[in-house]
């Protein structure tokens, strides 16, 4: 903006001089232009930052696969739950209703996410805050689907009596009910349910952005913290003459541990010194190590997304108290994770 004094002086002279009149117009016009440009820059910058953060956690959608009207709803819903990705939600919506918001199955399941009225009564949420929980409203249906899947994933991951991949188990529970999965100690042996799990896995790969989710190659993905709200109790460096090759986060036994970036699991189970561990390979020949775990939630060979639940912290191995030991290893050489994260945004 033109300083008021200059503007006033220019205005008083403007009537007398055509040159001053032109200067005054130019000053006012360029100030307005500057403010408009600043506003555009600010809003664009903020949007990009938010979208980036959300996609990093939620898994990235292959462009053009999800109907445009539901894209943001799916990404937002996936961002509400570690372990539930946008491609997974999209695959379910496709299989459940073929993206038909008004779908009603012969069994009476309703809307995009095909909730039965009884399940909707207990699990339906108001996704768009309009005060109404409506299974035929896409915003409500997608938010409810993500919340319900999150609940099922937590239940199957916590249940020591189940075998199988947690996502497969959660999908089976979505299809056949959690009771059926628990009763059979794994994916319920119904052909319909087994076909559902396979179909969602296939569709999910179709909805996933290959550039973002291909394990082992492609550009490095985003990096997220392996544990939430935990204090660092020991840093990277030499302790009593030997290298402490990672950082330690104090955490009660059973705290959720999350994958740091997209990749695939290359080790999960007992490891000398670290008790139970998980090791993950990421694009760019980077590996991450999660040690002293009480339980793994992934199996070797499994593809993982940033923020996906991979294990629970513990106090196994050479450990002086419950904590997570976390390492970042470019070319399998441990570096200070704090410096590594600073370099990887």
Under the rule (CB under 5 A), what is the footprint of Zn ion?
248, 325
In the chain, the DSSP E strands lie at 232-234, 237-239, 242-244, 247-250, 256-258, 263-271, 275-282, 286-296, 303-304, 309-313, 323-330
Alpha carbon distance 337, 339 (integer Å): 5
DSSP letters spanning 141-207: HHHHHHHHHHHHHHHHHH-TT--S-HHHHHHHHHHH-HHHHHHTTSS---HHHHHHHHHHHHHHHHH
The least CB distance from residue 248 to Zn ion, in Å, is: 4
Rounded Cα gap, residues 273 and 103, in angstroms: 54
Closest CB to Zn ion among 91 and 274? 274
Smallest separation (angstroms) from Zn ion to the CB of 244: 6
Q: How far apart are CA 314 and CA 241, in angstroms?
A: 25
Angle, to 10 degrees, between the axis of helix 86-97 and the axis of helix 166-176?
30
Beta carbon of residue 277, minimum distance to Zn ion (angstroms, whole number):
11
3-state secondary structure of 254: coil
User: Cβ of residue 234: shortest distance to Zn ion, in angstroms?
Assistant: 6
Whose CA is closest to 201, among 165, 177, 160, 158? 165
Find the shortest distance in angstroms from Cβ 306 to Zn ion: 22
Closest residue to Zn ion, Cβ-based? 325
Q: Is residue 344 within 8 Å of 223, Cβ to Cβ?
A: yes
Least spacing, CB of residue 221 vs Zn ion, in Å: 25
Residue among 279 and 325 whose Cβ is closer to Zn ion = 325
Question: What number of other Cβ atoms are within 10 A of residue 71's Cβ?
Answer: 16
Dihedrals φ, ψ of 53, to 5°? -65, -40
CB of 319 to Zn ion, least distance (A): 8
């Amino acid at each position: 903006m033109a300083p008021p004094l200059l503007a006033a002086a220019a205005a008083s002279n403007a009537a007398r001089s055509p040159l001053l009149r032109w200067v005054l117009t130019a000053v006012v016009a360029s100030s307005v232009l500057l403010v408009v440009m600043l506003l555009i820059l600010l809003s664009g910058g903020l949007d990009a930052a938010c979208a980036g953060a959300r996609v990093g956690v939620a898994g990235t959608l292959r462009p053009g696969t999800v109907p445009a009207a539901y894209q943001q709803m799916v990404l937002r819903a996936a961002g509400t739950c570690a372990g539930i990705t946008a491609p997974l939600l999209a695959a379910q919506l496709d299989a459940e209703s073929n993206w038909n918001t008004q779908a009603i199955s012969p069994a009476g399941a309703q809307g995009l996410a095909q909730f039965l009225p009884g399940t909707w009564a207990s699990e339906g949420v108001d996704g768009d805050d309009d005060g109404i929980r409506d299974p035929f409203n896409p915003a409500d249906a997608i938010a409810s689907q993500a919340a319900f899947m999150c609940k099922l994933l937590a239940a199957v991951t916590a249940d020591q009596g189940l075998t199988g991949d947690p996502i497969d188990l959660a999908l089976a529970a979505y299809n056949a009910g959690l009771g059926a999965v628990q009763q059979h100690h794994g994916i319920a042996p119904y052909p319909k349910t087994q076909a559902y799990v396979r179909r969602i896995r296939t569709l999910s790969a179709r909805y996933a952005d290959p550039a973002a989710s291909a394990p082992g190659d492609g550009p490095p993905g985003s990096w997220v913290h392996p544990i939430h709200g935990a204090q660092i109790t020991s840093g990277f460096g030499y302790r009593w003459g030997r290298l402490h090759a990672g950082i330690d986060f104090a955490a009660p036994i059973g705290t959720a541990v999350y994958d740091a970036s997209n990749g695939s699991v290359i080790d999960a189970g007992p490891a000398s010194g670290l008790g139970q561990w998980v090791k993950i390979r990421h694009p760019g020949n980077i590996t991450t190590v999660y040690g002293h775990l009480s339980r793994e939630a992934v199996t070797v060979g499994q593809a993982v997304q940033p923020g996906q639940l991979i294990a629970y912290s513990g106090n196994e191995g050479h450990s002086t108290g419950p904590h997570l030991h976390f390492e970042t290893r470019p070319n399998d050489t441990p570096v200070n994770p704090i410096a590594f994260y600073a370099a990887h945004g």
